[in-house]
Structure formats: C-alpha cells, structure tokens
C-alpha cells in the first residue's frame, strides 16, 4: 500500500470525553479517520490506515475550542501580529477556531479584503480563521458597509469592534440588513460622549492617579441601546467584552424576556480590578477598562447564572515600543490567546467555583457555535475532527517570552495557574502539543 494512499487514523485513548453538544461526559476513546470523528467500529474496520494512538489518561478530550474575539492585525499592522503568528498563539492556547476582528488596514468592509483574509488564513494559518466584516465603511460609523456582499463573501458576523456606531438610526439599519442576510451583529459598547478621553475606570484609582476617567455608564448606555434594537428588530446582538455590573443587569433582564441579546467575558475583566493600574503598567490599559471589585463580582454572577454565555480573549497585540510610553497615550489592549483558558479554569472552576469544567467547555464551543451558526463545537460522528486536550489540574507558570504571539503585552507574566491545553488537533492533525 502506497503511503500517500493511507487513510490517517488517530485514536485518543482513555480520556474524559466532554461533549456538551451531545450531553456526553464519560471516560472513553475517540476515533478520528480522515480528519473526521467516527464511531469505533468504523475505525476498527479500516485496515488501510496509518494509525496514531494518543494516551489521554487523566486528560479532558473536548471539542476544539472557539475564540470569537481576536485581533490578528493583518493586513496593515504585521509588526503587532500576523495571521500566521496569531494562529500559532491560538493553537498554543488550545483553540482550533478563532474569529478575527475588522480593525485592520484596509478595513474588511468589502468582499475583496474578506477574500484576501480567507486566502491568507488558508495558506498559512494552522487553525481555522473566520473573518468578520465591518458594519460601517472604514469603521467610521456613518455609512453602512455592503452587508449583503460581506455575507456572500463568507463573514460569520458584522462588527465595528474597536469602534462603536453612535448614530442609533445607522445601527438600526445595520441590524435590519444583518437579519435579512442571516448574520449576527457584534457590538463594542462605548458611548463616546460619556466616555470622552477616559483611559481608566472612573473610581478611586482614577482619582488617586489623576488619570482621565471612563464611567461604567459609557458601556451601559450602549448595552441598553442594543437591548432595545435587538427587541425592535428581533435579531441577535452580541455585546462584546462586557465589563460593568449595570451591563450584566440589563442583559439578564432582557434575556429573561426573550430578547436576542447576549454578552461575552474576557479573562482580564475577572482576573484583575482597576487596582492593577496603580503602577501605571500600560499592559493593564484595556478597552473597556479594568473595573471595580463590584463589577468583577457581577461578571462572575453573570457567568454563573448564564447571563453571560461566551468566554473569549479580546486578544489585542501591540509592539513593545507602542506600549512603552506614558499611560495616557499608550494603545488599549493586551494579548490573551495563550493565557485565557488557564486563567478561566483557574479562576472560574478552581478558585471561585462559579461553573464546572463542562460549562466552561460549553461556553467555548456550543455557545459561540450557536451564535455564529458554525458547523463546529461538537464531537459528533461525522464532524470535523477539531479537538482540544486539556489537563485541568496542571500547574504551570506563564512565561511571556515563550509565547507564540508576535507581541508580549501581557500583565500575567509570572502568574501561576492551574489548568491548560496540552494538545490541539485541527482536522485530525496535531498542530500544537505541550
């Protein structure tokens, strides 16, 4: 039998298979043939196979994790990150699918730029890279991008992330067009009039340090706007990087009435409070800002009761020379792909006990797949073999200098965490292992 005609077969032995989409949680084997999940009988009856066996004893075998909020910076800002380096960082973090945001240059507000991103990702990306399209032309918030053309080009959602449309009429029309073509709307919730030139959360530390403040109401006002538009247009609006207690209350109340509104949480918004800015560490300057302990507790409650249904990174790479400036003028953002899973397992499962590991995996698989209508997020027979192996009890130390990302702007260097991905499999092939 010629080697190039052999069917690749992988058997993952003795792992704890957690597949929330199929309500499966058991010690079992998982069989992969030709890049697809198959039943054990089919795998055994495939003698013309090149077989790899992986011992997953003591490990969790999960559907490939999905991060729906990643900045890959390419095209236009490859000194920060590229599609290739960002995909490697995702694989090292345990993610088989990432959704990239549109604040690049040129902006993906047209089918041509979307095609370039998809072609580039297909050529050099080791994980699945799914593009979003801009809501407005050039992210200016004034004139709608051709949403129908973007949907035909293959975007999984539309968003002006990094910017927020202030004109409510423009946003309403965007949601209506999105409904017609069947893509969800993701929104960066920021009222520019309320936020002004703020760089940190409005509270004790902004006052003490004399830094321009950013009130939580600047987020909450747009969350309220989105609740009203989601109800008016009967179409999903997803609030990105929720950080404020008031936002959680608004989303909880609206979801209780059946409004198609949802929210996501980033690890830094539950791992840190605004106290972290006291040494003017620009790696702690993020948008929206780190908030108070009251806000963090509200986020944890929202995760526990299902109000906030998705976990993600808001991976925002910047070069060292961009961050090594005065706090006021430094860019917003921190990297997160390689630390988010460890932070969330450590904080949500081990330390706070707000959710169990099954729900955490569901928030990284079933929930994002449902929102974006993705054919992924499960270990069903016939599904593409995207799989993440996790050691939830592994204790490790974050070493930023060992990251796969092209940037190093993380405040978590040296943190000791419990839980991380140890192998990432995309389409049946291992793309990263510890």
Which residues are annotated as catalytic?
314
Which residues in 204-346 belong to E strands, given as ranges? 213-214, 237-239, 261-265, 310-311
CA 303 – CA 398 distance, rounded (Å): 24
User: Using N-to-C axis directions, what is the helix angle for 83-93 and 111-124, rounded to 10°?
Assistant: 60
CA 139 – CA 102 distance, rounded (Å): 8
CA 52 – CA 68 distance, rounded (Å): 31
Q: Judge whether 247 and 52 are in contact, CB under 8 Å.
A: no
Up-side HSE of residue 356: CA atoms within 13 Å toward CB?
5
String of b and e for 312-327 (b: at least 16 CB within 10 Å)? bbbbbbbbeebbeeeb
Q: Which helix (H) or strand (E) holds 131?
A: strand 128-131
Q: Judge whether 286 and 324 are in contact, CB under 8 Å.
A: no
String of b and e for 201-230 (b: at least 16 CB within 10 Å)? bbbebbeeeebebbbbbbbbbbbbbbbbbb
Query: What is the Cα Rg of the chain in Å?
Result: 21
CA 411 – CA 403 distance, rounded (Å): 13
Residue 108 gets which letter from DSSP?
S
Helix (H/G/I), strand (E/B), else coil: 152: helix
CA 432 – CA 422 distance, rounded (Å): 8
Q: How do the residues of the chain divide into helix, strand and coil, expressed in percent and rounded to 5?
A: 35, 25, 40
Strand partners, 31: 11, 38
Residue 258: CB partners within 8 Å, gap ≥ 6? none
Q: Judge whether 96 and 125 are in contact, CB under 8 Å.
A: no
Q: Which two tokens stand for residue 6?
A: 């052999």
What's the angle, vertex CA 125, arms to CA 134 and CA 146, rounded to 5? 20
């Amino acid at each position: 039998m010629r080697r190039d005609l052999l069917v690749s077969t992988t058997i993952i032995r003795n792992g704890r298979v957690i597949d929330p989409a199929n309500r499966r949680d058991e010690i079992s084997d998982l069989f992969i043939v030709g890049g697809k999940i198959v039943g054990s009988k089919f795998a055994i009856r495939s003698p013309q196979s090149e077989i790899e066996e992986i011992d997953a004893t003591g490990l969790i075998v999960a559907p490939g994790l999905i991060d729906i909020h990643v900045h890959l910076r390419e095209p236009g800002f490859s000194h920060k990150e590229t599609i290739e380096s960002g995909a490697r960082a995702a694989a090292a973090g345990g993610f088989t699918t990432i959704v990239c945001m549109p604040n690049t240059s040129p902006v993906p507000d047209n089918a041509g730029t979307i095609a370039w991103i998809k072609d580039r990702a297909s050529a050099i990306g080791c994980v699945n890279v799914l593009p979003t399209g801009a809501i407005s032309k050039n992210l200016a918030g004034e004139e709608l991008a051709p949403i129908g053309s973007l949907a035909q080009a293959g975007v999984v959602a539309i968003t002006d992330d990094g910017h927020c449309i202030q004109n409510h009429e423009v946003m309403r029309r965007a949601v209506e067009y999105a409904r017609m073509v069947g893509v969800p709307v993701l929104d960066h919730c920021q009222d520019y009039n309320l936020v002004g030139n703020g760089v940190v959360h409005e509270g004790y530390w902004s006052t003490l340090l004399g830094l321009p403040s950013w009130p939580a109401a600047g987020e909450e006002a747009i969350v309220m706007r989105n609740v009203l538009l989601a109800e008016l247009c009967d179409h999903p609006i997803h609030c990105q990087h929720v950080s404020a207690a008031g936002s959680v209350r608004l989303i909880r109340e609206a979801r209780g009435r059946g409004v198609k509104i949802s929210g996501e949480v980033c690890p830094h918004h539950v791992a840190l409070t605004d106290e972290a800015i006291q040494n003017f560490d620009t790696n702690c300057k993020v948008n929206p800002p780190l908030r108070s302990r009251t806000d963090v507790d509200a986020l944890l409650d929202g995760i526990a009761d299902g109000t906030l249904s998705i976990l993600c990174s808001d991976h925002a790479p910047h070069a060292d020379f961009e961050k090594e400036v005065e706090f006021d003028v430094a860019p917003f953002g921190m990297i997160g792909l390689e630390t988010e899973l460890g932070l969330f397992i450590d904080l949500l499962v081990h330390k706070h006990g707000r959710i169990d590991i099954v729900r955490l995996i569901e928030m990284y698989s079933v929930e994002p797949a449902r929102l974006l209508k993705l054919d992924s997020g499960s270990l069903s027979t016939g599904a593409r073999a995207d799989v993440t192996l996790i050691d939830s009890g592994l204790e490790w130390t974050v070493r930023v200098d060992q990251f796969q990302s092209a940037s190093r702007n993380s405040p978590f260097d040296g943190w000791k965490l419990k839980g991380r991905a140890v192998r990432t499999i995309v389409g049946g092939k291992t793309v990263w292992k510890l």
